Structure 1
Amino acid sequence: MTLFALLATTTAVIAFQQRAAAQAQRDSAVFNQLSGEADRLHGTDVSLAAQLDLVAHRMKPADTKIYTDLVGTENFPLSTALVAHTDAVHSVAFSPDGHTLASAGADHSIRLWNVSDPRHAPASNLIANTPSAVNAVAYSPDGRSLADAGADGTLRLWDVADRTHAVPVGEPLRLTDAVTSVAFSPDGHTLAAADADHTIRLWNIADLAHPAPLGQPLTGHTGAVEAVAFSPDGRTLASASVDQTVRLWDIADPARATALGAPLTGHTNTTTAVAFSRDGRTLATASRDTTIRLWDVADPAHPAPLGQPLTGHTSTVESIVFSPDGQLLAAGSADTTVRLWDVADPAHPTPITPVDQPLAGHSSTVFAVAFSPDSHTLASASADRTIRLWDVPRTLLTTHHGAVESVAFNPRGHTLATASADHTIQLWDVADPTRPTRIGQPLTGHTDAVLLTVFSPDGRILASASADHTIRLWNVADPGHPAPIGQPLSGHTDAVSSVAFSPDGHTLASASADRTIRLWNVADPAHAAPLGQPLTGHTDVVESVAFSPDGHLLASASDDATVRLWNVADPTHPTALGAPLTGHTSSVFAVAFSPDGHTLASASNDATIRLWNTTNPTHPTPVGQPIVGHTNTVLSVAFSPDGGTLATGSLDHTARLWALDPGPADHRICASTADALNLPKWQQYVSDQMAFDPPCGTVAVPH
């Protein structure tokens, strides 16, 4: 019996081990499949890809590739789909309070969605079935009224004070052809509508129940009018037409509206959309020629083009909109994607996402885009019968008028410094990193690009390095009232690309285009002095230097595409440690140590950030894959004092914040992508053999 028992036990153990091995093999295969599918989907549905990354991360939390993929989602818009329409959705509009989204489309319906709580899937109310397709909807400035533009040539007004029950106001207004666009004036007293009969019509709606025509229809276009938009001051109206032009109209007196100057030309096909910036000084126009143009309309009688057309879309640009904060421009296209540009400096707009990574998720033409009043959510409407709500990252700091060359956290507070090619330094309050705010005016004094800034360990001094060959020290004990200290430090024979304080604050290291590194005694910052001879070893421009937290190591980055580590325990006799670190495919512009000294981050001209394990400084190793997201050269990198956030600055004119703990990425993905990973997709992308267990829980499909 004992022998039989032993055999039975042995058999059971072997069977258990075999089952465990089979399960481990299956899990490994599923993990590899998940990782591969996520990589493939990043270009077509980043929201679903993010959820697949979450599933993979929970299967293997220590996998460094998945870790860096999750960190990379921090600065990319993610979306959730709203499903209720039964045909193409033509238009979306947010109420002025941001709590409601109106949508309308080819299914003859108008719906209102409750979007007041981003933590819950929006629910919709069908408020109207119209006799024809609806081409556009618009809210009045007070949010109590809604206008819809009908394909049957009618324009209807609705009382939507109660978003659960819309009430028609008055009789429909009848035009001679399809109504393609509708807009309320900023004061809510005038309504404008675009007509396919080549005209624009205006009504006085002071008494909403009894709209009165204002003057004669505006004529001048030689083709159907596709879109109309009021300037923020209500004195100018812009219109876009099939005739490939845009016209501006003086409507200071809407009963006597007149054309302003000659039509705006430049587009080579139908102009489909027009939008004014928040300050009214910039007009954006979109076209079937796949481009967007920006115009200076500060003097609307004499508009002038701004820069080159914005490109990237591969088919008709159907809709454009400026964010209410004036920082972004969004466009929806027949190529099924949405694109974002930073337009803080409209003369030099830059894409927010990589050119090859637009906002993807729709499967057909994107007809309309609209920002929420707080600029944090973008709604897109598509021929695929869905609406998507995109969570726009709040971690983009867009104030400089040139490349952001450097970012630095104050170790003793919640201040971030950004330095720019515009010769200035800007201080930011980042106590809440999801809502950074600017502190005061930019610091000026350098006569060329400021290439790097760094705080002293006690947070009271800021050092800046410039292409003007000098280093400047600033007293920032009171961030609201910074002041220069002493005279600029000179000695380098070319641009000073980087500076770094030792942990005790007594030594400053500087790197230069003269291929050398210099050490300075700054124990008395008002009387700084050089230490010893310049350090040599790099074969090209030295772009960056950084001390380890214990002060024993100095890292340097160079245009020779390498990173070097130096032993500077004795700053008068530094020595090189090991071989240069390689992996970047172009110049390395910045390096930074994590607060624990175990990780080194490097930023490169190849538009990526790399992380290195420096626990053993003589044999550092790469951590995961490069982090991508910037659309151009990454010029600077910095860790927050707690090591949980990485800040980067780029030639794409943006600074970005990356949460290094996957937890925030986990939360944001779940909050932004809702049911992106439903049961059918689980079976398709994860496994039909594993129980359905989405990383964000089961979310009901919104209706």
Structure 2
Amino acid sequence: MGALVLAAVPAAIAMTHLDAVGVNNNLVLPDALVLEMAAAARARQFVTMTMMKPATQSVIPQMKISGNEVTTWALPEGAIARLGRGSVQDIAFSPQGPHLAVCTTVGIWWYSLASKLPFALSETERGMVAAISFSDDGRWFAAGNIDGVLKVWDMQPQVCAERIMGETQVSLQMRPTFSSQMRPTFSPDGHYLALLAEGCNTIDIVNPATGEHVAALGDNTPVKKIRRPAGKLVAFSPDNSLLANVNSAEDMSRDFVTVWDIESGVCIARISEHSDFVYGLCFSPCGGFLAVGYWGGILRVWDIFRGTLELVRTDYGKYRMYPAYSPTGELLAAGLYQYENQKVVQVWHVAQAEQLDTIQLLRGKVRLVQFSQGGNQVAVASSSELKVWTKPDDTAATQVSFAAHQDTVESIAFSRDGHTLVAGYRWDNVALWDVARQHSQRVLEEHPPCRTQVVHVSPDAKIYTVSIHENTLKVWDIQKGELCAEMSGPERPGAWTVSLSPQAELLVSGYKNGMLIVWDVQSGQKLHILRAHTDRIQSAAFSPDGKRLASASWDRTVRLWNVENGKEVGRLPIHPSLAAAEFKAAVPEILRDVKPRSQAEKQLRPRRLEVITFSPCGRWIAGGMIGEIRLWDAMTHEIHMAILLPDGCKRPFALAFSPCGRYLASGSWWRGTEKVSIRLWDVANGENLATFRGHPTDVQTLAFSPDGELLASGSFDGTILLWDMKPYLQENETS
């Protein structure tokens, strides 16, 4: 049995404390107070903040819902629609009214629990919102993004009161495992805001009204970031005097819980005599008890002041436990069981040993389980699915689902008539988007979601998808809903990338060990095993006539194959030694990048190609590598052009030719910018015809409509943006 240790600050815990900040309830806020948390001064001795010029901003911009207008909210310039609402990262129940704030990779979606419809979208300038919290009285609202920026709003005038920045690069260098993402938790009276930075066992407490730093509780121990379904890892006592938080051991083998006196900054208790992971904790309404939920279906309740273990429940099986107290002191718990395609949450009344309900998710991996403030609601969310369970007094429980959120977009393709956009999602299934109406229909719902879905449209208008799950490959006819073929590859390693030939007669699968297998789709049999590569196959593509295959590997080679006999027929040169005249870019960029390459030619290794594709006519092969897009002549294998990329878009890992073959679109992976870029290039001369910025993170896949007038971009953020190409292509054709 575990033990609760009542003690002063243990020697292993270094704590720093600044004088508590007095709170003036009559404080008049300026329109906005912007603060910077200067991490260069934060060797964890204290936190300093620098005042900056404020900018008034409403947290909930009101938006009218009419027809499909939700797909046009907060669109970037050049885009005509956003398909999907981004992957779910965190949620919070509003204390004032039946509203739900859902933070996603796109921004914060505000939903009415009654209608299940969104009424606002905020924080889209950067997106990637990862954590949110309301104060119990509803006055304060805090949201933090993955860059370590946390904003605090005063909800009464609805203005941004503070903007708090997390660690800078200086502290990242000192603590390389530290993540600056901050998770906010308000005290019940709203006078304190606790900030838990992922990757560190320290809680910072600030005054939300002034931004002044109150205390730093804990040590400076860096810990590895653990991906686990988030619950409540920080809790204040009802009288605002105590704070409990979950800490991770340095070796990440277990968690422990510490309880702090906020005013003195002293650790009054430490719960560490167990070897379990903690998934949630909460104080009882009287403030004397602390309930802790563990891995393995275990609940423990401690008397904080006596140091005794009051309750142990170990009969919840292999569930991860999330406790919550109702305002009347009843202990509730939600237990999550997640294994492969099973994702079940059970809601329990602990004292009565009564299971109140079961919540089941079908798609994605569960990321969070959270109770509402009163304990009568539970939200369960994966990146692509969100359900809210509600149990009003003396009435039957209800479950509400919120659709339109998806995980990473793995691949997209337009139907031959251009009316439908087919999208394959990670850990999900396939969706068919009506381009005109901007509505989607999920297909293959009866089949378990898979790690990867690669979609393909053949010249005869048939729509296929290839699903990858461990070592099994399945090819589906989407229109018929039929399984065309099922192939089993080697047990280890599993397939990393797949591609169908134009007519969907052949399938190539690439593996982490460098092996390629060419399959006959109709029979499901192996035609060739290609073993020339020595490292992971990152990308593979068939030529338009289906007779050749190009493969790019992490062994820094690009090979061409004869599909009929399985023989290697050539390699594409990717060595960096090129004359400056062969590059297409602004002159300063050429001088900056090319000269160092030539000077260090002997020391440089060939770079890795991350994506490869053929032009529709089969004349060109395009590949994306760090800092460069390269085009080769598909017949001679000679370099046709090398396009140097400017800062901020040096990872062009998504490429697509226009149907006419005259244009090439490239999408970047994220690298320190608010939005990543999508660029349109002229294949003949390498001119950058247009640049679009809309996704807050990696562009995974691109596709042109059959008439070339639309470009679709699918992102790691779980959305697809539709871009109007007509102004740029027509202008280029006219000129």
TM-score tier after normalising by the smaller chain length: 0.3 to 0.5
User: Which gives a bigger RCO, structure 1 or 2 (Cα 8 Å, sep 6+)?
Assistant: 1
Superposition TM-score, scaled by structure 1 size: 0.43
Larger Rg: 1
Higher strand share: 2
